[in-house]
Chains A and B, each alone.
Chain A
Amino acid sequence: MTATRTETTVAGPLADDEPLGASRGERLTALAQQHGALVALLALSAVASVGFDSFLTGDNLENMAVSSAFLAVVALGMTFVIVTGGIDLSVGSLFALGGVLAAWGSQYGTLVALALPLAVCGLIGLVNGLLIARARLAPFIVTLAAMLLARGVLLAVTDEGSTTYLVDESAFFARLGQEKLLGVGLPVWITALLFVAGAVVLRRTRFGQYVYAVGGNEDAAALMGAPVARTKVAVYTLSGLCAGFAGALNAAWLVSGVTILGSGMELEAIAAVVIGGTLLSGGFGFISGSLVGVLLLKVIQNVINQIGSLDSAYQQVVSGGFLALVVVAQTWLGRRRRMV
């Protein structure tokens, strides 16, 4: 012991009775928590590729990837919100609103088609954030209100859903959703880029640390000097931006703004984030996990479609069952980790 002391050491080691590294059990539970969804995804994909010839075809995979992309972008913003211990129920409505605004705006050029949904959805996200962080209202209620409000705006803009704005297929904006690069649709590439950026922001920047700290222990974070309110405002704004952008991207892909899209999407996004290992109580989670969560939901959906004889309604039963399983497993793992 004495050999490890330096002149500045004021006393013997305090923690010498503790193991220096994490114990094996602790590491295993941490791994399970981080990569459980990935293991499930790989296992399910393996089974599906053996069971259905059409599963592992380029077309099917590309199809799944593109249809995952939009939910994934929404889940990306949601991950930030959930890590702070919050929730954002408005994203489904913002997704639809973003799509319609983009389709309408595309007649004035790509810039408007992208900027308009980002501005409107970002603004709604900002207001959510301000109400939650500054006025200290409950995220559930604030974003529920925003969800209803955005739906209302959507109905007003589309004359109660009777007007559908189409995107000119030759416009540059439409190409954002239609073009392929190396055989994979642009939305997939864009989503991949956003996830890399998101992961870097959450793990490697000061803002990311604040996000974790606010979710982990808000009071402590405030006392440690973290800008709690600003962090919260930022994550809800980010979530709004993500939802709006996902909607715009979706409109480019569909070459129209479809009003009825996005209802229930907020719950799908929350499910994906939680399945990906992020704690709903905040303070712990990963961007990559949310991507895995989205893919897992989409593969389940795809497999059930492949079975064909099974009613597609079962897809929600399976997804729901899976979510319940994950939450139970997380709670159990969390308890184990606390005991270790």
Chain B
Amino acid sequence: MSQDHTTPVRTGAVLVADEVTKAFPGALALDRVSFAARAGEVHALIGENGAGKSTLIKVLTGVYAPDAGTLTYGGEPVRFGTPLDAQHAGISTIYQEVNLVPLLSVARNLFLGREPRTRLGLIDFRRMHRETDAALRELGVRVDVTRPLRSLGVGAQQMVALARAVAVDARVVIMDEPTSSLEPREVRTLFGVIRMLRERGIAVVYVSHRLDELYEVCDAVTVLRDGRVVHTGPLAGLDRLRLVSLMLGRDMGEVRSEGATKFSGDHDPGTQPVLSAEELSLRHTLHGVSVRVRPGEVVGLGGLLGSGRSETAKAIAGALAPDSGRVVVAGAPVRTGSTPAAIRAGISLLPEDRKAEGIVPGLSVRENIALAALPALSRFGLVDEARIDAVVDTFVRRLRIKASSPRQRVGELSGGNQQKVLLARWLAMQPKVLLLDEPTRGIDVGAKAEVQGLVDELAADGLGVLLISSDMEELVEGSDRVVVLKDGAVVAELTGADVTEDALLHAIAATGEAAA
């Protein structure tokens, strides 16, 4: 790595995929894809779910071997057998979900596989702790590095992953949606790090669904669609609308009219609330939170990560037992702290962590949808197959779930379709109130618009919806009202014309000052 000055390493392509093809049973994931990561350049890799981004990353990092085509690294053809080979060669990857070992300490995670050793060949913990501390400080994180990783917040964990990627002498750093679980402040830190990497002449590949971020940090962009490259070139000068239309493969007019978020509706404030949560309190997390949702209304729950948004939804849905407070659905009080009671009362929660709390990847689309509704679809303890088929069929069509058949395993579907399966599961319960925690996180623009459209339709059918989203635009455009939380308490409620990003920002910022 300490080599020559003659080859144009700074401007040249470090990692090149040439006409790479990768097929899976029943799907051509990559069709003669060419891609080049250049030193000192931040290269955005975008596309809808299923476009082939993840597969391309896995080919670049040695997880998959390409069926055809070549990889060139540092000017020479390479074939990485394992992720370890790629890492040793200087290709680091940060995955969408933090991929570290939660029970191991921060320092052990940072140094796994390349621990500093004493002359005896034993691990030099003092040096390891010192260097970990230094590496994290450089990223603006100060923690006790001997603590288990899981005791850190998600943002800090992501920073540890980043520190790990940077600490190895990487020439290429690949980031797969690194900001999906970060707060704005952490995103700024991340961008600082990315710029630092660029200055050091490292090639950065940046995958994200957030267009703002792309325009902020990326120099070049490659757009994938259906396993093919549809565009590659500098990002500057490529306007957003064009970018979105490239991703979606629709023409501009269509995107303009359809692509933007479009929850809407006005509601008569006189109607009885279908859900009223009163004075919910939970030690350390919630302090007297009250929320009311009327039928047909979408109420947004705003605030920063850790402000108590998810906890409020979980307390309403019985997944967390509040110390005090009441939940009333359609006039009838619901026993708190019991999911079955909440479900019987007509409350459905679409959880934030799709993977851990929602889908059962090994089960089929059909089984996943029917799971929660089984008691309602059974008679004398026996499952009524015909009724399940009918319900599943209805929702697959209504939510436009793209699966080869209802028997396909959910784990094989794209993120957007997985989310729709989850939505179908809860809709099959015929809920009165739907709690959506980050319903569009990690799913592509097209599926996002679809899910948002669905939420709109559902509300129009008279469902009460509580929407949690860290995407401010989605929250503002999708909600009739927004209740703003800060440190577990309601600090503002935006209604009518006041529901704007500006007002939301001000509400959060103002309370920040008040709290400080």
Contact = CB atoms under 8 A, between A and B. Distances in A.
Q: A and B, one complex?
A: yes
Interface of A: 4-6, 8-16, 18, 20-22, 26, 200, 203-206, 209-210, 212-213, 215-217, 219-227, 279, 283-284, 337-338, 340
A10 B189 contact: yes
A22 B115 contact: no
Contact of A213 (B63, B112, B140): B112
A241 to B, nearest CB: 20
B83 A225 contact: yes
Nearest to A221: B101
A250 B123 CA distance: 34
B104 A21 contact: no
29 contacts: A10-B193, A11-B139, A11-B185, A12-B185, A13-B140, A13-B141, A14-B140, A14-B141, A14-B156, A14-B159, A14-B189, A15-B143, A16-B142, A18-B153, A20-B142, A22-B147, A209-B113, A209-B115, A209-B123, A212-B101, A213-B104, A213-B108, A217-B100, A219-B99, A224-B101, A225-B112, A226-B84, A226-B112, A226-B113
Contacts of B186: 14
A10 B152 contact: no
B150 A284 contact: no
B196 interface: yes
Residue among A21, A220, A226, A337 having the largest count of chain B Cβ atoms under 10 Å: A220
B188 interface: yes
Contact of B102 (A20, A217, A226): A217
Contacts of A21: 144, 147
Contacts of A338: 150
B64 interface: no
B136 to A, nearest CB: 9
A6 B102 contact: no
B104 A216 contact: yes
A284 B108 contact: no
Interface string B177-212: 000000001101100110110000000000000000
Contacts, number: 138
Contacts of A223: 63, 83, 93, 95, 99
A167 to B, nearest CB: 37
B113 A283 contact: no
B389 interface: no
Contact of A20 (B103, B144, B185): B144
A225 B113 contact: yes
Contacts of B99: 217, 219-220, 223-224
B139 A10 contact: yes
A105 to B, nearest CB: 33
Contacts of A22: 144, 147, 151
Interface string B89-109: 000010100011111100010
A4 B139 CA distance: 12
B189 A11 contact: yes
What are the 3 A-B residue pairs with the smallest beta carbon separation, nearest first? Answer: A10-B192, A216-B101, A11-B189
B121 interface: yes
B189 A224 contact: no
A12 B140 contact: yes
B155 interface: yes
Nearest to A285: B103
Given A11-B188, A209-B112, A220 B138 contact: no
B267 interface: no
Given A16-B142, A209-B113, A224 B121 contact: no
Q: Is the interface of A mostly helix, strand, loop or mixed?
A: loop
A6 B135 CA distance: 12
A26 B95 contact: no
A212 B108 contact: yes
A222 B143 contact: no
B102 A225 contact: no
A279 B148 CA distance: 15
B196 to A, nearest CB: 6
Nearest to B124: A204
A18 B152 contact: yes
A222 B85 CA distance: 12
A220 B149 CA distance: 13
A212 B185 contact: no
A273 B88 CA distance: 36
Contacts of A212: 101, 103-104, 108
A8 B200 CA distance: 12
A82 to B, nearest CB: 13
Contacts of A203: 123
B1 interface: no
A205 B123 contact: yes
A75 B95 CA distance: 37
B121 to A, nearest CB: 7
B470 interface: no
B143 A224 contact: no
Nearest to A19: B144
Contacts of B139: 9-11, 14
A12 B159 CA distance: 13
A61 to B, nearest CB: 32
A222 B87 CA distance: 11
A268 B452 CA distance: 56
Contacts of B102: 216-217, 283
A22 B148 CA distance: 9
Nearest to A217: B101
B144 A8 contact: no
Interface in B111-140: 111-113, 115, 117, 121-123, 125, 137-140
A206 B121 CA distance: 9
Given A20-B142, A20-B143, A222 B83 contact: yes
A57 to B, nearest CB: 39
Given A10-B140, A200-B122, A15 B103 contact: no
A46 B115 CA distance: 42
A55 to B, nearest CB: 38
Contact of B156 (A12, A18, A337): A18
Contacts of B141: 13-15
B101 A283 contact: yes
B432 interface: no
B103 A4 contact: no
Contacts of B115: 206, 209
B185 A14 contact: yes
A263 B147 CA distance: 40
A9 to B, nearest CB: 6
B123 A204 contact: yes
Contacts of A337: 151
B164 interface: yes
Given A222-B83, A340-B151, A18 B143 contact: yes
A222 to B, nearest CB: 7
Contacts of A26: 151
Contacts of A206: 113, 115, 117, 123
